[in-house]
Amino acid sequence: MLLKNGYFLAVMAGVVWGFIGISTLNLSSLGMNTYEISFLRVLYAFILGMIYLYIKDRKKDKNIKYPPKKTWKYIIATGVVCQGLLNIFFSVAVIKTGTVTGIMLMDIGPLFTIIMCRIFFKEHITFIKMISLTMAFLGAVILITNGDFKNFNFNLTGVAFGLLGGACYGFYPIINKKVSDNFDPVRVTIYSFGVATIFLAFFLNKESLEIMFSQRAITGGIFYGLVPTLISYILYSKSMTYISPSTASIISLLEVPATTVVGIWLLHEPVGTFKVIGMMIVLSGMLLSKVKN
């Protein structure tokens, strides 16, 4: 069954994450900054996630399950680190180094996941896994830069924050795996959106409230919170029930070509040779991650 196939779920998560770019552009066109966009994203993901849990439990004639006390440390860590600090570090990296370099540094996240899987779960770092990651990352770099490596902008502070953002991104699968044996990781993720909402609220001001709760911002925020956030994270969390966190994180790099395809499809962006090459390399890396020996 496809819903029990970890590779399929991870691929679908990457595809759905492809709508991040168009969602961000839509909200930024309203004059919103990255903190406001991030706040709206986790706010609506939390609200819609709680509705999802309520409907799910009601169908089974059960009350909403609340996590035990020992699980709350993982929920807070996910909300603050993997959602809140991630967005802040990424914002600083983009400001200091530009969008291209900032996104590339974020895509190093799977490398941190592989290293932490070795530390926490004693998972072997296989040659095939590293080749798969290298290919996926190389393809993502070609896609992001469109083959023009002059787009790199090295700034020590920006690179440092970008690497911190990548580490926060790579830490999510580790927490997910830690709680999966004792509690539903999907619930942990949804509750963490609530923690992130509170955390990011401290970076807002009065002017932010006027922009964020206009009709267009609400519509755009609901789409952002539902499609490339709630749905993608549910798929990503579910995938790690069947495959290792390191493999799921490598497949998640499919987000980059998926974003490119969405841009070509909805924004009529030009299809260049380097984009095609980049997508083929990323997909090859995805396929290679399935090789066992």
How far apart (Å, rounded) are the C-alpha atoms in residues 232 and 224? 11
How far from each other are the two terminal CA atoms of the chain, in whole angstroms? 24
CB of 193 within 8 A of CB of 231?
A: no
pTM, two decimal places = 0.87
> What is the predicted pLDDT for the residue at 151?
65
Q: Is the pLDDT of residue 63 over 60?
A: no
How far apart (Å, rounded) are the C-alpha atoms in residues 190 and 223? 16
Confidence of residue 293 (pLDDT cuts 50, 70, 90): very low
Q: What is residue 56's three-state secondary structure? A: helix
Q: Which tokens go with 266?
A: 């909805």
CB of 57 within 8 A of CB of 113?
A: no
Question: In this predicted model, what pLDDT tens digit does every residue of 127-186 receive, in sequence order?
Answer: 888 899 899 888 888 888 777 767 667 788 888 998 998 999 999 999 888 887 778 888
In terms of Cα–Cα distance, which of 236, 6, 247 is closest to 123? Answer: 247
Amino acid identity at 38 = S
